[in-house]
Chain A
Amino acid sequence: MLLTIEGLTKRYGTGDAALNGVDLAIPAGEVVGLIGPSGAGKSTLIRCINRLVEPTAGRVFLAGDEVTGRRDLRFMRRRMGMIFQEFALVERLTVMENVLSGRLGYVPYWRSLLRRYPAADVQRAFATLDRVGLLDHVDKRADALSGGQRQRVGIARALLQQPDILLVDEPTASLDPKTSRQIMRLICEVCAERSLAAVVNMHDVALAQMFLSRIVGLRQGRVVYDGPSNGLTPEVLTVIYGEEDWTRSAQRDDDVADEDVHGARPHGREPLAAVG
């Protein structure tokens, strides 16, 4: 297993447990969707994996190395790329600086301070920006981009870490439906290309079903479903989210035309082998 989570528990302050003994195992290269009602602990779970939030109890292993309880966190974090709902780009830095910041866990301080990254890193950054379709925006400031473009910078930054796994917290919640699909498609494609595993937090069940084959359902800090996405029957959804007429809300809009991210940039995919 690439990622193993054992009995993960998180209690904030004095409140109830946001996570309550979560067990989860993800093999290399598998992209898992994490769904559940607001407050179920999805963000907490993702943040406990790279310890942006310190777990109260339980253990996390990445490829056999324990993440929890170690002091040299930096070397574990750089192996896990994170993608955020609000993009979390450094607004006043350029697109390139944002992407290169994915190398911070690898380069010495003086290199990052002087923006003198190793040639291989710069090359990889260009190739990755080309892959996400942003080669024309390298020197723009991050705050000059649209939401979809920002999320692609976020993806490029995470990819530049050359991670083993992506931790993705509601990547599309701030985006329109079409851009959401493009971003989801991009995430799934890059994961497939690099046999990257991922945990993707999602609110949109239909979107999750469209792109992901394995879904984990979280409710009140516990895993209440772990199985194929086509197993999300109305009964299962009721277990995860509570009572609701699920047959009515499940609208299928597969036939909406959605262009490929790279529709306008056919050369986008070529440098892939080099990036690998």
Chain B
Amino acid sequence: MSTLASYPTRWRRPPFIASAYWRWAIYGGALVYLVLAVGSVEVNWARLAEGLQRGGRLFAGFLTPDFVSRWSDIVIGMQESLTMTVTSTVAGILVSVPIGVGAARNLTPLPVYLACRAVIALSRTFQEVIIAILFVAMVGFGPLAGFLTLTFGTIDFLAKLLAEDIEDIDKGQVEAIRSTGGSWLQLLDYAVTPQVMPRLIGLSLYRLDINFRESAVVGIVGAGGIGATLNTALDRYEYDSAAAVLLLIILIVMAAEYGSGLIRARLQ
């Protein structure tokens, strides 16, 4: 022991990049690149001004949304979208649960694990809109393509997150059920399900939200639903009808958000 005064009074957290030379080189380089990159973006100011005007008219449409003239189209679009959303979420859950379980390394033998991971990786390669275009090409315009697209999207989302969740569960509870002589299915039922169920339900509700919003997007590329209605309205410069559609989408998304929040709060 030496006297207190002999110890240093300064202490700094070690920097993320230890060498000062590399630190300055990397941070400086990143800054220079950022400036150059921003400078290289060409902005067509004339086109932007025109677009702003159009945006202004769309915004004005919001103040006078027209629910009436295209009401029957809107109703059909909404029905399609909601049907698409619910069916694709349910189908997606049914398919993704077994895949998710298969892709959890702590439950499955290596070959099954690799196969399920491959399915997930493959389905994650493509963005939803691209998948929608592929399905439209395969099964034609309409909500069937939308249903298939959203089901696909649900699988990669849920299966991956479920698998990760299962890999994170408390090992002790698994060991305990294993040590009672429980079979693999019983292990799934008693040690895994109780630990992942609340989150699985939460994720499914969240995916229901996402699927509704996506249903509007994939509609634009021809996969039916409210997106198709919106697209038609925009093509015809009927901004007041388009505004009505957007307002309805916002309303439904907010209602879904509120509803799923309530359910999730009750779960935990």
Task: Please list the residues of chain A having a beta carbon within 8 angstroms of any beta carbon in chain B.
Answer: 50, 52, 73-82, 84, 86-93, 97, 101-106, 109, 112-113, 154, 157, 161, 167
B182 at the interface (CB under 8 A from A): yes
Within 8 A of A (CB), among B143-186: 170, 172-173, 175-183, 185-186
Q: Which residue of B is nearest A110, CB measured?
A: B185
Q: Which residue of A is nearest B171, CB measured?
A: A88
Contact between B190 and A104 (Cβ–Cβ < 8 Å)?
yes
Q: Which residue of B is nearest A92, CB measured?
A: B194
Main secondary structure of the interface of B (DSSP, over half): helix
| From A88, A105, A106, contact of B172 by CB (8 A) | A88
List of B residues within 8 angstroms of A74 by Cβ: 181-183
B189 at the interface (CB under 8 A from A): yes
List of B residues within 8 angstroms of A81 by Cβ: 179-180
Contact between B178 and A52 (Cβ–Cβ < 8 Å)?
yes
Given contacts A78-B181, A91-B173, 8 further A-B contacts (CB under 8 A): A73-B181, A78-B180, A81-B180, A97-B190, A101-B180, A101-B190, A113-B189, A161-B181
B123 at the interface (CB under 8 A from A): no
List of A residues within 8 angstroms of B195 by Cβ: 90-92
B191 at the interface (CB under 8 A from A): yes
A112-B186 in contact given A86-B172, A91-B173, A92-B194 (Cβ < 8 Å)? yes
List of A residues within 8 angstroms of B198 by Cβ: 92
| From A80, A87, A89, A113, contact of B179 by CB (8 A) | A80
Within 8 A of A (CB), among B222-264: none
Distance, CA A221 to CA B94, complexed state (A): 48
List of A residues within 8 angstroms of B197 by Cβ: 92
List of A residues within 8 angstroms of B177 by Cβ: 90, 101, 104
Within 8 A of A (CB), among B174-224: 175-183, 185-186, 189-191, 194-195, 197-198
Contact between B179 and A50 (Cβ–Cβ < 8 Å)?
yes
Contact between A90 and B178 (Cβ–Cβ < 8 Å)?
no
List of A residues within 8 angstroms of B180 by Cβ: 77-78, 81-82, 101-105, 157, 161
Distance, CA A52 to CA B182, complexed state (A): 12
Q: Which residue of B is nearest A154, CB measured?
A: B176
| From A75, A86, A101, A167, contact of B182 by CB (8 A) | A101
Distance, CA A52 to CA B180, complexed state (A): 11
| From A52, A80, A92, A112, contact of B189 by CB (8 A) | A112
Distance, CA A86 to CA B194, complexed state (A): 18
